[in-house]
Amino acid sequence: MNARASFGLGNLLLFLACGCGSDENQAAARPARTDGGAADDGGLDAAPDAAPDLNLLRSPREAEDLDPDPNVVHVRLVAAPATHTIGEQQIPGFAYNGQTPGPTLRAKVGDLLRIDFENQLDEATTIHWHGANVPYAMDGVTWQTNPIEPGATFTYSFKLTHAGTFWYHPHFNSNGQVDRGLYGVLVVEDPAEPAIDDLIVVFDVWGEGDGPSGHVAAGAAMDAGGHEPTPGSAAQPQWTVNGLIGPRAVLRGGSAVRVRLLNVSTRSYLDLRWPRIRQIGSDQGLLPALAEPAAIVLAPGDRAEAEWLLGDQGFDVETAPYSLNGGAAQGPLAKALSVEVTEAAAAATAPDWPFSGRAPTPDRGTTDIVYVFTGDPYTNDWRINGEQFPNVTVEELKLNADAVIEVRNSSPTEHPFHLHGHAFEVLSVDGVAPQMRTFEDTFNVGIRGRVRVRLLADNPGDWMAHCHILDHADHGMMTVLRVLSP
Ligand code: C2O
Ligand code: CU
């Protein structure tokens, strides 16, 4: 772990005001839990005999860095079966290092990240570094390469070239393996940004993919098939936050927190609301300026960053109903988590983010590649340009091409478009340029929508381009974009 990482979230949290030392060390000394340590506050209560607060929100426990070199982060990850405790239920699944979310990997731009990975599952797997734009051989895909078999090991090793909130997950049987609990967060920090504490908030819905059948999301929230509520139904998916249902984040008044929000669900959307949202980042790090949207929609795979300037008031973070079958809908908001303030104080002042202030690139109007997304939720037949992965036409771009891709959604559901190996700038959504220059790697395309994006093809390889509704991807909605070698 580099020096910055040792800040952790600890000094913000009430229970650490009691002088218990590093939260990472505290967590590491106790047996692994599959909730990522989010509820693991044993011994941290002010009163020694008090029952531990099992619904206290904490960032997922960080991975131990095995390399003393400040520019190298070396971590061991093991994927293995695990039992998840979600609410009252015990759910069989998988985890990295016995915790879900898996260990947070924290590094800075320019660091070498090395992961010694071991597959202790009884099925093959890989790890994909979503958003981090790694060299092709490290991308964790199984296009013309084999996955990592049960009992086998693999070393992932690559340089981190840019800052942002990324995540890692299998890219083999993804819909089942991610849903069973295989995912974790990769934070790449930029030392030029203010080093304030962050809170990592990972949203998931259990039992929505082809994962465990005895799932918490059943009953009120889901139909019998474990899928999204049917269109028009008032039911909403049951969200968990770092493995907890409706947890409390207890934070100190007068502090500023960088909140990193991730939607790792395989098919459910978030439409997040809280009073006076101050959004500072999206998939690929800082926005060019502060945004103050009324809501933040996170499609599966999406991330956003916000700042909380805490004073003397708590608040709830809620999500409005939003379904891939019809976008935003009328209906009650559901509470995702609550923020409680301790040691009320004057509200923190906003950190001085090095916003670039740059305007969006104008769309020059030419198009290099068109992807038409089609499919049918009743047959679960999903295609890009009429083809189903892996039987696809490989589109090619020259190295360093400045290319425009147009994604057209001709289907009756929404699809978050995700590209490997490259970030892209959004040029327009349904013909309208964005208000702000944004770099993304996952971007939702609404029903019958049309999104134009621009990328600099500077990373040679065969890159997956797909829908991040993992059931759609596993049923064919994935293609390959080849960036040629020099
Ligand atoms: Cu997050 Cu190709 O995936
Ligand atoms: Cu899709």
Residue 129: per-residue pLDDT: 98
273: Cβ below 6 Å to ligand 1?
no
Tell me whether residue 243 is exposed, middle or buried, using C-beta atoms within 10 angstroms of its C-beta: 0 to 12, 13 to 18, 19 or more. Answer: buried
Based on its alpha-carbon atoms, the radius of gyration of the chain, rounded to whole angstroms, reads: 21
How far apart (Å, rounded) are the C-alpha atoms in residues 306 and 275?
12
10: Cβ below 6 Å to ligand 1?
no
How is domain 10-40+52-191 classified at the architecture level of CATH?
A: Sandwich (2.60)
Nearest atom (ligand 1) to Cα of 141? 2
Ligand 1 center–CA 177 separation, angstroms: 12
Summarised one tens digit per residue, pLDDT across range 332-376 is 999 999 999 999 999 999 999 999 999 999 999 999 999 999 999
> Nearest ligand, CA of residue 479?
1
Ligand 2 center–CA 415 separation, angstroms: 4
- Report whether pLDDT(450) > 80: yes
More confident: 211 or 382: 382
420: Cβ below 6 Å to ligand 1?
yes
Residue 15: per-residue pLDDT: 33
Ligand 1 center–CA 17 separation, angstroms: 39
pTM comes to 0.88
Q: Whose CA is nearest to atom 1 of ligand 1?
A: 130
472: Cβ below 6 Å to ligand 1?
no
Tell me whether residue 288 is exposed, middle or buried, using C-beta atoms within 10 angstroms of its C-beta: 0 to 12, 13 to 18, 19 or more. Answer: middle
Nearest atom (ligand 1) to Cα of 131? 1
Summarised one tens digit per residue, pLDDT across range 221-274 is 333 333 444 444 446 788 999 999 999 999 999 999 999 999 999 999 999 999
Mean pLDDT of 277-288: 98
* Fold annotation for 358-483: Immunoglobulin-like (2.60.40)
Q: Where in the chain is the domain with CATH 2.60.40.420?
A: 10-40+52-191, 201-342, 358-483
Neighbours of ion ligand 2 (CB under 5 A): 415, 467, 469, 472
Q: Domain 201-342: give its CATH code.
A: 2.60.40.420
Ligand 2 center–CA 262 separation, angstroms: 18
Find the range with the poorest average confidence among 100-104, 242-246, 327-331.
327-331
CB burial readout 150-178, b (16+ within 10 A) else e: eeeebebebebebbbbbbbbbbbbbbbbb
- Report whether pLDDT(219) > 70: no
84: Cβ below 6 Å to ligand 1?
no
Mean pLDDT of the chain: 87
Ligand 1 center–CA 466 separation, angstroms: 8
130: Cβ below 6 Å to ligand 1?
yes
How far apart (Å, rounded) are the C-alpha atoms in residues 110 and 117?
21
Kind plus residue range of the DSSP H or E element containing 75: strand 72-86
Mean pLDDT of 75-98: 95
> Nearest ligand, CA of residue 299?
2
DSSP letter (8 states) at residue 474: H
pLDDT confidence tier of residue 47, bands split at 50, 70 and 90 = very low
Q: What percent of the chain has pLDDT over 90?
A: 79
300: Cβ below 6 Å to ligand 1?
no
> Nearest ligand, CA of residue 262?
1
DSSP 116-165: EEEE-SSS-B--EEETS---GGGS---SSS--BPTT-EEEEEEE--S-EE
74: Cβ below 6 Å to ligand 1?
no
Residue 33: per-residue pLDDT: 39
